[in-house]
Every structure is written in C-alpha cells, then in structure tokens.
Structure 1
Amino acid sequence: MDEPAELDLPVEGGTLRVLRFGDGPRTALAAHGITASGMAFGALARHLSDEWSLFAPDLRGRGGSTDTPGPYGLDRHADDLCRLAEGLGAGAPVALTGHSMGAYVALLAAARSPELFDRLLLVDGGLPLPVPPGADLDGILDVTLGPAIVRLGRTYETDQDYVDFFRAHPALGPDWNADVEAYVRYDLTGPEGARRSKAREGAVRQDGRDLLASGDRFAADLARLSVPALLLHAPLGLLGQEPPMLPATVIERWTGGSVDLPAELVEDSNHYTILLGAAAKTVAERFTGLA
C-alpha cells in the first residue's frame, strides 16, 4: 500500500492531521471510527480510481490529531468535517463517507451543510441505536467496545507487542493483512518500552456518550437528509460474530418509509473488515457510484 501524504489542515483552535490518499481531481472526505484513525481508509483508497483524492482526517484526540484541543463531541467533529470540505472542495461539493462513529459524524455534517457534499455513504453506522432511559453510558461503552477501549489504558514493550494484541482480536486476526497492520502501526506512540495508542480515552468516552445519547438528533437528521445517501452494513459485529453493530430492527426502521436511505448488506464482513478487508472493494464501488 502506498504511504499517504500527511497534511496539517486548519480547524477551530488548531489543526487536524489529514491523510491524503491519491492525487486525482475529484475529492472525497472520510471520517473514521471511535478509537481509529484516518489510516482505516487505506484499503478503500486503493480501490478508488486515479481520478480521486481521498482525505481522511485523524479526528481530535486520535492519530496525528491527538493533541488538537477539545472540546470533543460529535458536533465538534462535524464542524471540523465541514471546515475541511470547504477548503478541500474549492467551491465544489465533495463526496463524504464515515465508518462506525464516523458515520454519525458524517451524517451530522451532511445534514447541517448539504451544499458541501454530493453524496453520503454510511458504513456500519449512522443509525440511532436503542439505549434504555437512564442507562450507564460508560458501562455500555465498556461492554460494546471491549478490546478497543481496553488497549487505551495499556502500554506495550514493543511495537510487535501492540501488533500481537490486535492479531489476537477475533474480528481482525482471522483476516489479517497488510492494510490492518499499517492501520495498527500508525496508531503507535510513546517511548520505547512504553508504547501506547495515540487515541485519548477521554475523547473516546466523551464521543461515545454523545453518540449513545443523541438518537433523537440522528433521527431528525436522517429525516431531513437531502444528499444522495446509502448505508452499507456488515452481518457480524465488533468481535467478528453476531450480533452485528446495527441490529436488523434498527436497519428496517430507518431504511424504509419516509426516510430515503437505501441499505445493502456486505456479505462476509464484520464491523472492521467491511473497511479493512476484501469488502473494501465493494465499499469503494458503492461510494463512487452513489451520486
């Protein structure tokens, strides 16, 4: 995989590290998941034609933007996406996609400033999730994110120890490839003997609580969405097994009736490999063919 160019682009209060894949004249913008980075889009970018440039920011508190100041929250990330789209699009709408938490951020951005975007691809995210009233939101995050959140509080003796932690992940190990390894190694920081993830746990938890508590807002934005949109979803979840990230009842609720959001199941994928495995080719095809 070709190494992306690393840019530092202005947002409110600082800059975001943005990975640029490709150098074509057409512009795409991609938002990653809750503990991820822009490197999650390496496989997708490779399947885009030469006419595309894909810009994948590290959201505040992650990757090369780990020191970009808060406050965090999905509205803040959506504002950042809109700011990037204004600059990168040079007056023309850009193609927008988001995976997992990034799908929710992309939805907010597209609903807020539809003139900036010519399409919206939601990848295994973006739909309101059922959360019981008064639920312990941090407890839900601990249960649902599992190993993804555990790693944020640990240090690792070597880079290989960190890679091995991911290779043991049930959703990634069986489908390990060069894209996954590049994604994992990009996330490393810290001194030798105490290597750790670049993602800040405080940012992850604040964004996660915001996501779980914002179902009504996502519902309203789906209802008023005016750009061409598509949902791609995986049959398997964050641990590489059922249940999926998006329950069937939720998909049925939001991909019919008054909401104009078609959906497609991407077979033989889980929440991670829909973007980091062979399914990335399908995601790229749907993304470029959407508008």
Structure 2
Amino acid sequence: MTAASHAYRRARVEVAGGRSTVGVWEPSAPPPGPVPTVCAIHGITSNHLFLAGLAAALPGVRVIAPDLRGRAGSRHLGAPYGMRAHAEDVLAAVRAFAEPGEVTLVGHSLGGFVAMTLAGLAAEDPAAAEHRFRGLVLIDGGLPRPPRPVRAADADNLLAAVGPEARLSMAFDGADAYLDFFRAHPAFAGGVGPVAGESFRYDLVADGDGGFRASTSVEAMRADSDDVYGAPDFGLGVERVMADPARRRDVHLIVAEGDLVAARPGLYTAGILDGYRRRWPGVRITEVADTNHYDILLSGHGIHACADAVLATLGDDRG
C-alpha cells in the first residue's frame, strides 16, 4: 500500500489492554518545517487500509490511521469499546506518530463519531490532550441523525444478506470467496478496486477450523453501534464543538448520495442537512453525487471531494 506520494509502514502503539496497530503514511516529499498531519479513522467493520486512497490524495501530508480495537490488526484488543475508548486509542496513536502541533481529524462512518468525541475531549482539557485538533472532516458520519426506518425491500432482499453483522458470522474459503461476497454487494456494483481489495484481504483472518472470517469482533460492533447515540462523551463533543462558531466553521461534513446498500437517499437526507444548517450556521456541508457510503472513499470524485476538504482545513500549513 505504498503510493509514489508516500512511504507506508505499519506500527504498534501501547493502549489500554495491549497494543494497537496503526498505519502511517509519511510523505515522500515533505514540505519545509513541520509536516502537516491528519489522523484518519475508519468505519465500524473496516480497517485503516480503507483510507489508503485518501492518503495518496494528500501529497506532503502525514496520515496516521489506527485500526480500532476489535478490528484487523487491533482485533485482539477487547472491551471496553465505545466512543471514548476508541478516542483514547486514537489519541495514543497521535501522540506516538505526530509531531507536536495541530492535527486534523478525519473520520468515516463510525470514525466520524470517534473523531467528534476526541475533539470534544480535547476541548475539555487541551493540555491533557497534548495536541490541539484543528478541524474535523466527517465523511458520512459524525453528526447525530435520527434512526431511519428500514425499508421493506432492503430488509427482504439486501440487509439480511449483506449487513455487517451477517458478514461477521460467515465463514469463507479464502480471499477470493471474501472478495466475491463484496462483488455481490450493491454498494460495490462498480467493482472492487485495489484499495478496497487490499483492505478486505487485510480484514480476513483464519477461524481455526480451516476457514476464514472477517476480523471485526461481533461484540465490538454491537457495543459501538449501541454507543454511537447513547455515549455521553459523543454528545458532549457535539455540544462543545458545534456551540463555538469558530470551531464550527472548521467542521466539514461530506455526505454520500447513497446509503450502505447504495439506495437513495443516503444516511443524511436533505431534511437532516437543512436542519444542521439552521441549527449550526457556518458548518460546511458537501454532498457528493454518484457515491454511496463506501465508494465515497474509493471513487475518484469521492476521494477528490474528501481530499479537498482536508486540504482546506490544513490551509497554509502544507508549505
């Protein structure tokens, strides 16, 4: 996963209960002075390699991307799960691999909620956080939204077959079978490209019975799903960040047109977005056409929109 723009390495960092795996992309041609740094956080059943396309689109920028506990290289880390536990793990990665100074937080899906939680904790006690986080780029996640009723067609034809929890309970013969699962997924109708393919291969682990399974712990996924809206630390993060007009202007929400099964509308409907604009004037919102919850980080125009938001947050720090 090394692009011409970056040198990639995989490292470990001490966290509560063990060691977390972190992907680090160092720029091949860093600018003079401190290297601008982004900490990117993946979704609920994903891993850091799903963010490799975004990293490649940020020349001159260091990208730090941990595997959340209970997933991929951090799968051996057990409870506690939830937004605060993940935020503390992410902070450990930032402390280990970022130079002193400001770091931009980027979160996809569940990672957006973790990023918002960490930004709120940093606002509570910036000295304890050691780094001041500048800007939040939230990709199809990270701001509260009311649960949307499951449509009958989705439940009957799609969600039972391709929903995250169903996949976590399945056994596969190997990488080809696992990739075939995603090729049949409606969100990957355009194909499974190199970034997604590498991320999925990395996700696959031996099950001890001669087969393979997804690395994400079902316990972790359920705990995190329950914690997204019930977590007091996430709610405080939203309150602290969005109540400050200056900090609110540094929040950039990027939303996909389609949802987890490529159905429209996406997770953030027009009504929800209009409500944000009324409640939080100045928040930046970009709607990316012809993308779904997953390929917003895989398609060229999706990555371009996400990278533009990150670079705008970094501003002149790129040198």
Distance 1:259 1:62, change over 3 A: farther
- Determine if contact 2:119/2:237 at 8 Å carries over to the other structure: no
Distance in 2 between residues matched to 1:258 and 1:53, nearest whole Å: 30
User: Which residue in 1 is equivalent to 2:222?
Assistant: 205
Distance in 2 between residues matched to 1:236 and 1:218, nearest whole Å: 27
Matched, 1:117 2:126: no
User: Which residue in 1 is equivalent to 2:76?
Assistant: 67
- Bigger drift between 57-66 and 152-161 goes to 152-161
- Determine if contact 1:128/1:250 at 8 Å carries over to the other structure: no
SS in 2 for 1:96: strand
- Determine if contact 1:158/1:192 at 8 Å carries over to the other structure: no
Residue from 252, 258, 262 that aligns with 1:236: 258
- Aligned pairs for 1:143-182 (under 5 A) are 146-182=162-198
User: Which residue in 1 is equivalent to 2:312?
Assistant: 289
User: Which residue in 1 is equivalent to 2:242?
Assistant: 223
Matched, 1:26 2:45: no
User: Which residue in 2 is equivalent to 1:265?
Assistant: 287
Once the 2 structures are TM-superposed, how far is the Cα of residue 284 of structure 1 from its aligned partner?
A: 1.1
Once the 2 structures are TM-superposed, how far is the Cα of residue 208 of structure 1 from its aligned partner?
A: 0.3
User: Which residue in 2 is equivalent to 1:136?
Assistant: none
Distance in 1 between residues matched to 2:117 and 2:274, nearest whole Å: 21
- Bigger drift between 22-31 and 261-270 goes to 22-31
Distance in 1 between residues matched to 2:133 and 2:288, nearest whole Å: 24
Distance 1:201 1:108, change over 3 A: same
* Structure 1 residue runs without a partner (length 5+): 133-138
Once the 2 structures are TM-superposed, how far is the Cα of residue 235 of structure 1 from its aligned partner?
A: 0.8
Would you say how many aligned residue pairs link Structure 1 and Structure 2? Answer: 282
- Bigger drift between 191-200 and 6-15 goes to 191-200
Once the 2 structures are TM-superposed, how far is the Cα of residue 77 of structure 1 from its aligned partner?
A: 0.6
Once the 2 structures are TM-superposed, how far is the Cα of residue 65 of structure 1 from its aligned partner?
A: 0.1
Once the 2 structures are TM-superposed, how far is the Cα of residue 220 of structure 1 from its aligned partner?
A: 2.2
Distance in 2 between residues matched to 1:187 and 1:288, nearest whole Å: 29
SS in 1 for 2:291: coil
Once the 2 structures are TM-superposed, how far is the Cα of residue 32 of structure 1 from its aligned partner?
A: 0.6
- Determine if contact 1:158/1:193 at 8 Å carries over to the other structure: no
User: Which residue in 2 is equivalent to 1:9?
Assistant: 13
Distance in 2 between residues matched to 1:268 and 1:192, nearest whole Å: 41
Distance in 2 between residues matched to 1:213 and 1:154, nearest whole Å: 29
| Letter matched to residue 241 of structure 1 | A
- Determine if contact 1:156/1:193 at 8 Å carries over to the other structure: no
Residue from 180, 184, 188 that aligns with 2:204: 188
| Letter matched to residue 134 of structure 2 | D
Distance in 2 between residues matched to 1:13 and 1:263, nearest whole Å: 37
Residue from 95, 104, 118 that aligns with 2:113: 104
Distance 1:14 1:120, change over 3 A: same
| Letter matched to residue 271 of structure 1 | H
If the length of structure 1 is used for normalisation, what is the TM-score?
Answer: 0.89
User: Which residue in 1 is equivalent to 2:129?
Assistant: none
- Determine if contact 1:235/1:270 at 8 Å carries over to the other structure: yes
If the length of structure 2 is used for normalisation, what is the TM-score?
Answer: 0.81
- Bigger drift between 113-122 and 62-71 goes to 113-122
- Determine if contact 1:7/1:17 at 8 Å carries over to the other structure: yes
Task: State the structure with more CA Rg.
Answer: 2
| Letter matched to residue 61 of structure 2 | W
